[in-house]
Amino acid sequence: MAPGCIYIRGYSGVRYIPPDLFWCYQRVNDRPFPSMTLGYTFEPETIKLVDIHLKRTFNFYGADAWSVSLKFWYKPNFQDGNAYGWNYRWNPLKQKFVRIVNPQTGDQYKPHIPIFMGALA
């Protein structure tokens, strides 16, 4: 299991679900991601949206607002005071985190796609 922690952010009374929300699913942040409730800014590629839970409430007059729960997985992989996130792996021979690369071309490979998560901040 990878090191890190689960971070859940919940909203209630949401009238509009931004379409960008679904593009962020199973992707990582491409830039610093602020958390106002924690008073912390997550480093790029260290937080991944792993679950979206939507619940719609209804009243006598019809559809009401949404309750939204977003579950993030924070994977910092700290080394030398820097945070290395989802697109790094531990290399036991070098004893450090290294970028994931394509073995045939040597190009950097990002299995966890970085995306702007501005709609979620």
- Per-residue DSSP letter, 22: H
Task: Report the chain's C-alpha Rg in angstroms.
Answer: 17
Percentage above 70 pLDDT, the chain: 96
Q: Is pLDDT larger for residue 91 or for residue 27?
A: 27
**Distance between alpha carbon 23 and the CA centroid of its chain, in Å?**
11
pLDDT at 114: 92
Classify 23 as helix, strand or coil.
helix
Mean per-residue pLDDT, 39-46 = 89
pLDDT at 69: 94
pLDDT at 32: 92
* Length of the chain measured in residues: 121
Q: CA 29, CA 46: separation in Å to the nearest integer?
A: 7
Q: Is pLDDT larger for residue 92 or for residue 121?
A: 92
CB crowding 14-50: b at 16 or more within 10 Å, else e: eeeeeeebeebeebbbeeebeeeeeeeebbebbbbbe
pTM: 0.81
Is the confidence at residue 4, as pLDDT, over 90?
no
Mean per-residue pLDDT, 38-43 = 88
